[in-house]
Structure 1
Amino acid sequence: MRKLLILWFACIFMVTASAQDKQEDEKKSQAMTLTHIVNTLKERITLEGYIQMGYTYNDQPTSKTNTFDIKRAILMARGRITDRWSCYFMYSLANSPKLLEMYTEYHFLPEIGVRIGQFKTMYSIENPMSPSALELINVNSQAANYLAGYNGSDPLYGSTTGRDIGLMIYGDLLKSLLSYKVAVMNGQGINLKDGNNQKDIVGNLMINPLKWLSVNGSFVKGKGCAVATSDVNPDIQVGDSYTRNRWSTGFKIKLKQLDLRSEYLAGKDGSVKSQGYYATTNIHLVSNKVDLIASYDHLNKNKAKENKQTNYIAGLQWWFYPKCRLQVQYTYCDPHLGESSNLLQTQVQVRF
């Protein structure tokens, strides 16, 4: 009987020990699997974001402003599916939260890649650039804001943040001497289906003849569907399809102590022609951490009626941490029709 008890206890001990070893192996396996998943996500998913907030004073008689404001709060995520295939997501959290960008793209070769989804329209030099990199607190020049539909200054086009939905082919040629982008887009803006049966054709060509010089040309050819009426173009009503063409040409100079960007932009909406041009310079001062900003910015919304305005801008920006800056800018607004006004802005940008 004693031997049987000893044998019984030995069997129980062996079974228990085996079960414990199995549980420990399963825990180790689960821990390794979880670690592998976390490491894979860290390698393949990149999160970024930035906020821009500050103060605005404007003494324009029709729209006086004296306020602190949050201009932008942006969250971005990029997922690398393979070495050539990726997806991208951008969401705005400030003011009226909305989806800004969502697309997937595949790089076949350096000379050719394909992107489909919602993204910046590749019109002009400025519109494809991020507000976190542009010098002006108002982001683009008047002409780029108006003709690209960035800020709703063209009521017919609406506020599209310069983005649209479509398909783009792009790439670099001749060892990056030429960079091209060609897209077919709705022409209706963000988060909307096309308002008509027409598509916009967008093209952008950047030539880089020297390390410090880039020359750019772009165009948009299509038909818009008006989302509101405009005093600039009263013959077009809400829902009307109308000719909406744009083109631009300009250059960028990037030197050790100086950045200069200048561009001429033109558009035609129905029978109304518009044009604008700007020159923005960024002079690097103290150890490239303090910049002097100056810009000459002109827009004529209707060449036949001389509906134009020129802005003269001067300011400073201090890069107090990588990608983080404090900006102060003064703008003298000189419209052809109406009274001149003064705009004072400050902005702090924090980016991670």
Structure 2
Amino acid sequence: MKHILLSCLLLLCGGYTLKAQENTKTANEVINTLKERITLQGYAQVGYTYDDQNGGSNTFDIKRVIFMASGQITDKWLCYFMYSFANTGKILEAYTEYKFLPEIKVRLGQFKTMYTFENPISPCYVELINCYAQSVNYLAGIDGSDPLYGSNSGRDLGLMVYGDLFDKLISYNLAVMNGQGINKKDLNNQKDIVGRLIFHPLKWLSAGGSFIKGKGHAVAASAYNPEIGIGENYTRNRWSAGATITTTPVDIRTEYLAGKDGNVKSEGYYCTASVHVLPKLDVIASYDYLNKNKTAADKQTNYVAGLQYWFYPKCRVQAQYTYCDRHKGESSNLIQAQIQVRF
């Protein structure tokens, strides 16, 4: 009897051991699958700013602290999430995307508005510490310099179809979007149509244009457009045309932008160059012009010069000087330094 009981106990223990090994194997498989299909990334940009406008100010500041997660659900289906921890935390992007063909991909959710060459570029790669040109900030609704549209990080909610055609000779984007900005429902019954078409005739050259056609819903009053009141719907159209040159010695990005809000027309132009003087050291120069109201000549031109050093892949330290030449009001000087770390 003792021998029978001992045999049963050994069999039972062996079963539990095999079961535990199977569970461990299953858990490892799940973990390995998650590692293969989920990618986590993040970056931070912190620095110092001195500005002598309106009596002057100087401060250490946090520009951005960003967390990103992407999940490859299947070979053709993915999801993406981006969150900003700086200042007031908020969701920047949240979308899902399906690849029907290399020429046809569909994205649904909240993401960058594909207007201009510059707006879709991550701040990790834009040369300027202030990030985008004045005209891009204003007309793409990035930093709140357009009070009617507000501060929306150049993003919106909608549905987009995009892809590459003719062996990547042409890339296109076509989207239907709320036109209200991030984390907001549409406040009118109109949708924005956003389109972008870029030609790549040479490996180092890209040229094309983009547009936004729609109706805005004013979230605040604007001194640049006093005819439009808070809560009113208004015509909000934009277009742009530009080119990028990417070579070993220098990268150049240049673009002309124009907009019409109600009866007020605005325009801007920028040209930014990054000269690679050493393998990790770049000299930065930029000409940046914006006229927020062509009738009132409310314009400003920024001249930027600086250096950036890539001390580790995707990590850099930057120093820049900006002379702000205003048509109305006094000109000013801006000195900035920034360090970027990314994983």
- Shorter-chain TM band: over 0.9
Q: Which runs of 4+ in 1 moved over 2 A?
A: none
1:22 correspondence with 2:15: yes
Whichever residue aligns with residue 96 of structure 1, its letter is T
Whichever residue aligns with residue 200 of structure 2, its letter is N
1:12 correspondence with 2:11: no
TM normalised by structure 1 equals 0.97
Paired residue secondary structure (1:48): strand
Q: Which residue of 2 aligns with 1:347?
A: 338
TM normalised by structure 2 equals 0.99
1:60 correspondence with 2:53: yes
Cα-to-partner distance string for 1:275-296 (whole Å, 9 max, x where unaligned): 0000000000112x00000000
Report deviation, 1:61: 1.0
Q: Which residue of 2 aligns with 1:4?
A: none
Between the two proteins, the alignment pairs up a number of residues equal to 343
Q: Which residue of 1 aligns with 2:62?
A: 70
Q: Which residue of 1 aligns with 2:27?
A: 34
Cα-to-partner distance string for 1:191-224 (whole Å, 9 max, x where unaligned): 0000100000000011000001000200000000
Cα-to-partner distance string for 1:160-199 (whole Å, 9 max, x where unaligned): 0000000000010000000000000000000000010000
Report deviation, 1:14: 0.6
Q: Which residue of 1 aligns with 2:314?
A: 323
The correspondence of residues 27-176 of structure 1 with structure 2, limited to 5 A, is: 27-61=20-54, 64-176=56-168
1:311 correspondence with 2:311: no
Following the alignment from structure 2 to structure 1, what is the Cα–Cα distance between the partners of residues 34 and 85? 24
Following the alignment from structure 1 to structure 2, what is the Cα–Cα distance between the partners of residues 206 and 48? 28
- For 1:212, which of 204, 207, 217 is the aligned residue? 204
Whichever residue aligns with residue 78 of structure 1, its letter is S
Paired residue secondary structure (1:37): helix
Task: Give ranges in structure 1 of 5+ residues lacking alignment.
Answer: 1-7
Paired residue secondary structure (1:222): strand
Cα-to-partner distance string for 1:107-144 (whole Å, 9 max, x where unaligned): 11111010000000000000011000100011110000
- For 2:273, which of 281, 288, 312 is the aligned residue? 281
Cα-to-partner distance string for 1:65-117 (whole Å, 9 max, x where unaligned): 21000110000000000001000000001111000000000011111010000
Following the alignment from structure 2 to structure 1, what is the Cα–Cα distance between the partners of residues 233 and 120? 26
Following the alignment from structure 1 to structure 2, what is the Cα–Cα distance between the partners of residues 59 and 68? 15
1:334 correspondence with 2:334: no
Whichever residue aligns with residue 8 of structure 2, its letter is V
Paired residue secondary structure (1:61): helix
Whichever residue aligns with residue 80 of structure 1, its letter is Q
Following the alignment from structure 1 to structure 2, what is the Cα–Cα distance between the partners of residues 338 and 83? 56
The correspondence of residues 251-290 of structure 1 with structure 2, limited to 5 A, is: 251-287=243-279, 289-290=280-281
Cα-to-partner distance string for 1:319-339 (whole Å, 9 max, x where unaligned): 000000000000000000000
Paired residue secondary structure (2:53): coil
Following the alignment from structure 2 to structure 1, what is the Cα–Cα distance between the partners of residues 70 and 324? 39
Following the alignment from structure 1 to structure 2, what is the Cα–Cα distance between the partners of residues 286 and 191? 42
Paired residue secondary structure (2:71): strand
Following the alignment from structure 2 to structure 1, what is the Cα–Cα distance between the partners of residues 310 and 186? 41
Whichever residue aligns with residue 283 of structure 1, its letter is V
